[in-house]
Structure 1
Amino acid sequence: METDTDALRSLTDRYKADPESVYHTWFIGSEARLKAFRSIRRGVAGVVEDIQARRFPNDFKGSSLEFVLGCITEQKQVFEGAAHPFYWKPKLRIPDIYENEANKQAFGRFLYACLNATDSLSVEKEILKLAGQRIKGLGPAVANILYFLHPTAFPPFNTAMVNGFNAVFGAKKKLGDWESYLEMRETLTQANGALGVLSKDLGAFAGLLFDVGVGKLAADGELAGELSLARERIEAVRRKRHEEVEKDLAETREHTRVQHQLVKLGRALGYDVSVARNDRSASCEGTALGYHCLECLPDLGLPPEVHQTVDLIDVLWLHQGEPRIACAFEVEKSTSIYSGMLRLADMALSLPGKEEHLYLVAPRSREREILEQLRRPMFQRHDEFALSYLFFEDLDRHLDSLCLLGGDRRVLDKLACRCGEDITPRP
């Protein structure tokens, strides 16, 4: 990597020495660049507010998004044309964030999450969520907004920069592809860190790629050859992490979906419902989990530290208008079965009486694992709390019938297996 860094440093030295380079004319020579960060952050918050309040228009013109892109395109050469991908094109019906309300809300949730994210991995997850929505016409041009929210983690993105990247690193990246953008970001970030001569703000390195891409700065073929192998190694690591993030996102979506089912069932049976504090903003079927639930967990007469633990249980059903728990559910798609069961047991042992019913909810494929944990002495205290388990598959199959025909929580008795009744897997 040292040879690679030496080769790139020569190009960087020429970039910094040229008084007419982007580095001098925009990155360090423009007060407007620094002023733009605050304006754009404030503008993105305005876009989110407009989408949430359903006052975001069905056209780019006159929208709060136009203001944000206006602030970005004022940065002149580097961001020239940054607004074009967001113009409403009626014949193509793209980008489809103006007429399609679901897509509009998804875009709003993405901007809100990125605006409030504190680490790059969280933003990358949001990018993959947005890409998974397959919103027609909405691609990595959004990265130009991301740059002004997280300048040390996400570079801007345009045709010239992609061309410059391909020339410098011997690559063949495409413009309208989020995957290409994330691979470029990984390589660029690592190369910038290894160089250590440009700012941590990725705008400096993006400016170098821009100058190469427009032909102002030449990158020779030998440099591209030396850097190509390093880029391939970096991208292999990024692809592996991408797979892990995608798997994590899929598991999170499944966890949220099951929570949504339990919320729906609890409300249909006449209970007040509380969702784990850290999950209330998670969305399923276009609606936040906490939307139809209690705004906060009522005072249950518990010590503060126990109350905080109970407030993190996935779903609670409470007797309507009373601070009494009827049922508690922990959803475990792939996380520790033991930790979920322990949270339920701790809550039950901290509450007076024995009125609440505790359920572990998991895929049928994890039943043997559940039964192994149920054999622990901690969960054999049947005189102190009742612990049962439900399967995802049974909820999927019977949810509508349970909502329609159930009178109270006893409707679950036909589906649930209770600890102590049978410690052998069911067929």
Structure 2
Amino acid sequence: MAESQNIATLITSFRSRYDAQEKDQVWQRLSHKMRIFWQERILSGTPGPLGEAECDEIIRILDRNGKGNTKNDEAVARVMVPQGAWRRMLNEFHDNPALGRLVHAVLNETDDRQKAALIDELYRKNQGQKNNLTGPSGNTIGAFLAAYDPVDNLSIISLKDRRAVIEFLGLSTSFEWDAPSIGTRIVESNRIIIQSMHRLGLPGSARTIGVFFYTPEVQALWKGEDTIKRTDKTAVSVVVPTTLDEEEEEVSADSVRESMRVQGLVAKIGETLGFRIWLPRADRSRVLKVWHPEPDVLLDDLPLNYDSSTMKTVEQIDVLWLRKRSIVRAFEVEHTTSVYSGLLRMADLVALQPNISLKLHIVAPVEKREKVLQEIMRPVFSLLEGRALKDMCTYLSYDHIRDIGELKHLGRMSDEIIEDYEEMAE
């Protein structure tokens, strides 16, 4: 087990400054709001979609990144689900009573064995659905459980984080981590961590325990994060990858063709939203097979006044959306195993122009999601002059790009629609 005296000291310090009773009262109100929403809106059977405003109120409870949240608001965690995906998920529960009732059964079950079985059933029935509900990390289910019952369900929603906490504390489990079902891992890891922290001297709700583990001094001990000072004396928090990069795989022709189709779709979306588009000259002949722009949409030259080094970097970025003489958004479409080349171009651009204000996006298949988000957090990208790359660059899946491209009335929207689908690295 981790050094008991050190843990005891951290717990004592935490308890002296964290008002658990006050916070639990806040969470009692938020949990009540969540339960009423589920009963009166999700399971009501009333026709018509749920409104964005009522969905957003619930999303603010579930997700720290929920639209409208401030640093002083209480939320379960950063769940890594885009705002638009949350809205669509809640509406799917409303429109699909069987799915809504099954999730409701998971949230209400108090027997651990039955809860694990219900989670497994949910994963089976939702298999193949691209709705962000049943991912391998368990983030979304964990967020729903913690919001619905924060007394007994940890806001440590990621199975990866729970495993790291268990290993840090030196706790034994009755199973090999990857052997049992995801339902068993979610339920058992929740029980093991709560019981161990009660024994170590941190009583109270699961929410209190979750907050303890994400305080900076405790998180640094188990999550592999560190703080590095830049030359301008400001400090940045970075995550040091704990596994080596895999060897670069040979990229298939199908993968390259798919990336070109996605690159063309990103360009088409930008055109629909009223932007002029830049593509690297080397890519144009292939991308133009899938995207047929109107006259004057595809730029022959970039109307920018950067120095030659910056221009050489900018010209190689996969897709740029421009309004007048300014780049509004930049996209790198990644299909390689390392997902590194696009990030390097983005980092080069920020290093060359530290005051640049455009928004950066890495577009990659969903199976590369965790790799992209991990790479964005590399220490070298947190040491850039100005802002860390993670504060400027987000992830978009191929599926999200296709979803945006299929939106009705896309031409009447603004480019802020991207923010309903993007994910930030945390």
TM-score of the two chains, using structure 2 as the length reference: 0.37
Structure of greater relative contact order (alpha carbons < 8 Å, 6+ residues apart) = 2
Higher-helix-fraction structure: 1
